[in-house]
Amino acid sequence: MAPGFLRSPEKVILDGVREHAIDREPMNTTTHPERADERAHARRDAILLTVTGPLVTAILIVTWAATGAGYFWPVWPLLGMSIAVLIALYRAFGPLPQAAAGAPEPPSAAPPM
């Protein structure tokens, strides 16, 4: 009898995903339409963050100045926002992910002689 953790619903789901992944041929990530949609969405998000970032920065600095201009606390939200913008820009305009190195080659049309 198998241990209880092997009969969990997660194992059944993972087995189904593995079988599905083995049966399918590798996806061409450079021309696949869903990948292009994801890339367009990432570009829109990156542009939106790049435009709204300076507005939020201005609001934070005005708030800091209006509250006495002591310790420059806006540096912390600005740092977090900068990291988010960099990640969004990388996802939008960075290199496309390559197919897995160990992926099997698609079958050729003619059998070898």
Is residue 37 included in any domain, yes or no? Answer: yes
Q: Structurally, how many domains does the chain consist of? A: 1
Is residue 2 included in any domain, yes or no? Answer: no
Is residue 107 included in any domain, yes or no? Answer: no
> Residue 66 belongs to what H/E stretch?
helix 33-66
Per-residue pLDDT at 26? 52
Whether pTM exceeds 0.85: no
Is residue 7 included in any domain, yes or no? Answer: no
Is residue 25 included in any domain, yes or no? Answer: no
Is residue 55 included in any domain, yes or no? Answer: yes
Is residue 62 included in any domain, yes or no? Answer: yes
Read off the tokens for 89. Answer: 């820009």
Helix (H/G/I), strand (E/B), else coil: 11: helix
Query: Cβ of 105: how many Cβ atoms within 10 Å?
Result: 7
Per-residue pLDDT at 33? 72
Per-residue pLDDT at 98? 60
Query: Cβ of 92: how many Cβ atoms within 10 Å?
Result: 19
Domain interval for residue 52: 33-95
**H helices, E strands: number in the chain:** 3, 0
Is residue 58 included in any domain, yes or no? Answer: yes
Task: List the chain pLDDT tens, one digit each, 113 residues.
Answer: 455 555 566 666 666 666 655 555 554 445 567 777 888 888 888 888 889 989 999 999 999 999 988 999 999 999 999 998 998 888 888 887 665 445 555 556 655 55
